[in-house]
Amino acid sequence: MNYQIRIIPGATYLGNHQTEFVVWAPLAEDVSVHILEPQERVEKLVSTDQVYHRGILKDVKPGAKYKYILQNGKETKEKPDPASRFQPIDVHGNSEVIDLNFHWTDGSWKGIPQKELVLYELHIGTFSKEGTFKGIESHLDELCNLGVNAIELLPISQFPGNRNWGYDGAYHYAVQNSYGRPEDLMHLINLCHSKGIAVFLDVVYNHFGPEGNYLGDYAPYSSQYYHTPWGHAMNFDGHGSDGTRNFFIQNAIYWIRDFHFDGLRLDAIHAIVDPSATPFLEEMMEDINELKTILGREICIIAESDRNDPRFIIPQSAGGIGMDASWNDDFHHSVHTLLTGEKDGYYSDFGSIQELAKCYRDAYTFTGQHSEFRDKRHGKFPTGVPDENFITFIQNHDQTGNRMFGDRLSTLVDWEGLKLAAGAMFFSPFIPMLFMGEEYGEINPFLYFIHHLDQQLVEAVRKGRREEFKSFAWKGEPFDPQDESTFLKCKLNRDLVKDKKHRGLLDFYKKSIELSKHFRLDGTMDRKSMETISFEKQKVLILRYYGNEKLLIFQNYHKEQNVISVVWNGEWEKIMDSNDVAFQGKGELIPSCLNFANTKELLLQPLSIMVLKQKVN
């Protein structure tokens, strides 16, 4: 299982005008490379096993364009390379030979230790005016200034057209041509590293986009037996599945090794159906761990999973899959429902202070209880899994993009609620992740948008989108996902920061990140020395940390002022208050120094969060 002896699919430039072509194509009798530019020619690849076809071609330099000719008897097809490193025209066009050499200057970069991560999810097309890799670069200093130390790029796999919300990529080795070229991505990552920012990539190993994917002509990428709500599952355990596995494992290695990514976020691993003795993800982690050792820098592999299954983030030595961290939807849903009162879909399972409290204590709200929404018991208690293996967020691309109007929290809840939600995330023991723009309360939506070239598919998507929202309480028609204006609506508008309200929120984020990073690293914010006190009726939650430092975090989810009885002793210093006028709050009700000998009741502002630290005499 040595990653070095695996087979690297695609066209690899070897130097000296030589390029190696390797394609997994057990469904073709013969495969030839059709070089289309600069000089047309056809060369047959060799297969010794009728599984992989290979050949080293002379006089093929970076920039050469090619397709594969697949031959079965008299039938021939000409298709792009599934492992294409670049599609200069589109998903249907020629593939391009790429030179992966780049003048890296990040030799001393060791990455960010997992426990220190402050992640920032961003969509390349809408993050900057330019909508490109290059467009990100001028904003990196803002992110550093905010306290973010890792950006997580939504998928960059080549998709049809010029714009896509991210999950219709058909070429998982090719960067989207409208975002830039592979070397532009390398330039961005190199620059990030020079500024102390790690770069994560969102990769989709559970499906391929519906347009421009010619996998079925090449190999059994799809499962014969399993389906997901999105269609055929990928083939990770059937005949020929070693090939599917190799394709994706090499893909993970490609981004980490050749592009210097610091980690991956794996999309929807619950849609990877794979009951093998050694599941694909476990095999992938074996190889990545080996690579980690070789590279000698921090690599963090994050799962998106809605299954609340700790197995994914338990080390292999303890019988787990060995991924490093997992998104925690329960935390999002708890905070979201407390603030919005929404009850549609999966939100129907959430909405109480106790549920949020359980999520702080047990990392998941659902650890085996019955879920109404799922109509079954859900989740498992994550015994022994450390805090930094859970990624929390109060917004992300899904929680906005899956809404009919792509609403961000800023347009759904009272402004004070934004600080409360952010504070709830930052002062949790878990790793925080922001969604681009939330730090200053961006109000532009993040919508589902596409730019498919196949008009039948466009109609099908439009129809599906309308159907999808029928069961929700939203009124009206969804925006047309294909219309360019839908995409343009989603661009960040940083001019908002000129407004005091937005500026105040940004300052709250900065201060919270700084403070919480400190208490996360000094061992104060840790579930091992934490308790929760829930006031269900008042909608108040108190977190008490009693590790290195003693902290009390008061969260009031009520839209009214609230009085709660308190039972502590000693003198406490208030180190953070969302009501602070510096954050454009409603004004502080609690003094900056508090002696609980004289204080038995606290008056809390509506939708507020406050952090107290015990004074040490």
The residues annotated as belonging to the active site are 267, 304
Hunting for tokens 């694909």 — which residue is that?
A: 280
Q: How far apart are CA 208 and CA 168, in angstroms?
A: 7
- Spell out a b/e string for 235-270, using b for 16 or more CB atoms within 10 Å of the CB, else e: bbbbeebbbbbbbbbbbbbbbbbbbbbbbbbbbbbb
Token pair belonging to 591: 């003094």
User: Please, what is the end-to-end C-alpha distance for the chain in angstroms?
Assistant: 57
Closest CB to its own copies among 322 and 423? 322
**Segment near its own copies (CB under 8 A); pick from 193-201, 315-323, 425-433, 597-605:** 315-323
Is residue 55 a contact residue for its own copies (CB under 8 A)? no
Beta strand 601-604 pairing with 562-565: antiparallel
Q: Does 2 bind its own copies (CB under 8 A)?
A: no
Tokens of 564: 């709660």
Q: Binder to its own copies among 73, 275, 296, 587 (CB under 8 A)?
A: 275
Among 500, 475, 302, smallest CA distance to 405 is for 475
How far apart are CB 14 and its own copies at their closest, in Å?
Answer: 27
Q: Is 289 an interacting residue with respect to its own copies (CB under 8 A)?
A: no
| Under rule CB under 8 A, residue 240 binds its own copies | yes
Structure tokens at 396: 């992300």
By beta-carbon proximity to its own copies, the closer residue of 120 and 364 is 364
Question: In the complex with its own copies, which residue's Cβ is closer, 133 or 390?
Answer: 390
| Under 8 Å between Cβ of 133 and 188 | yes
On the question of a cis peptide bond just before residue 38, with omega within 30 degrees of 0, the verdict is yes
Q: Which stretch binds its own copies (CB under 8 A): 155-163, 225-233, 400-408, 440-448?
A: 225-233
Residues between 363 and 392 that touch its own copies (CB under 8 A): 368, 370, 374-380
Return d(Cα 256, Cα 298) in angstroms, integer: 11
Out of 78, 242, 344, 549, which residue is the one contacting its own copies (CB under 8 A)?
Answer: 242
Nearest CA-CA partner of 168 in 176, 177, 159, 178: 159
Stretch that binds its own copies, among 56-64, 306-314, 483-491, 564-572 (CB under 8 A): 306-314
Which of 200, 236 has the CB closer to its own copies? 236
Is there binding between residue 190 and its own copies (CB under 8 A)?
no
Name the segment binding its own copies (CB under 8 A); options: 274-282, 448-456, 568-576, 584-592: 274-282
- Region binding its own copies by CB under 8 A among candidate stretches 234-242, 292-300, 496-504, 528-536: 234-242
- Site size toward its own copies (CB under 8 A) is 38
Q: In this chain, which stretch among 110-118, 275-283, 409-417, 513-521 interacts with its own copies, using CB under 8 A? A: 275-283
Residue placing its CB nearer to its own copies in the complex, 368 or 570: 368
With binding defined as CB under 8 A, does residue 309 bind its own copies?
Answer: yes
Q: Which is nearer to its own copies, 162 or 228 (CB)?
A: 228
Could you list the beta-strand ranges (E) of 278-334: 300-303, 325-327
Sort 384 into a burial class: Cβ within 10 Å, 0-12 / 13-18 / 19+.
Answer: exposed
Contact status: 593 vs its own copies (CB under 8 A): no
CB atoms within 10 A of CB 455: 9
What is the C-alpha separation between 346 and 335, in angstroms, rounded?
Answer: 13
Among 1, 89, 563, 581, binds its own copies (CB under 8 A): 1
Q: Which of 53, 292, 311, 539 binds its own copies (CB under 8 A)?
A: 311
**DSSP state for residue 490 in the 8-state scheme:** T
Q: Would you count residue 587 as binding its own copies (CB under 8 A)?
A: no
Q: Is residue 307 near its own copies by the rule CB under 8 A? A: yes
* Between 274 and 407, CB nearer to its own copies: 274
Specify the residue, 228 or 354, whose C-beta has the smaller distance to its own copies.
228
Element (H, E) at 295: helix 280-295
Half-sphere exposure at residue 98, Cβ-oriented, CA atoms within 13 angstroms? 24
Enumerate binding residues for its own copies (CB under 8 A). Answer: 1, 224-229, 237-242, 270, 273-278, 307-311, 314, 318-320, 368, 370, 374-380
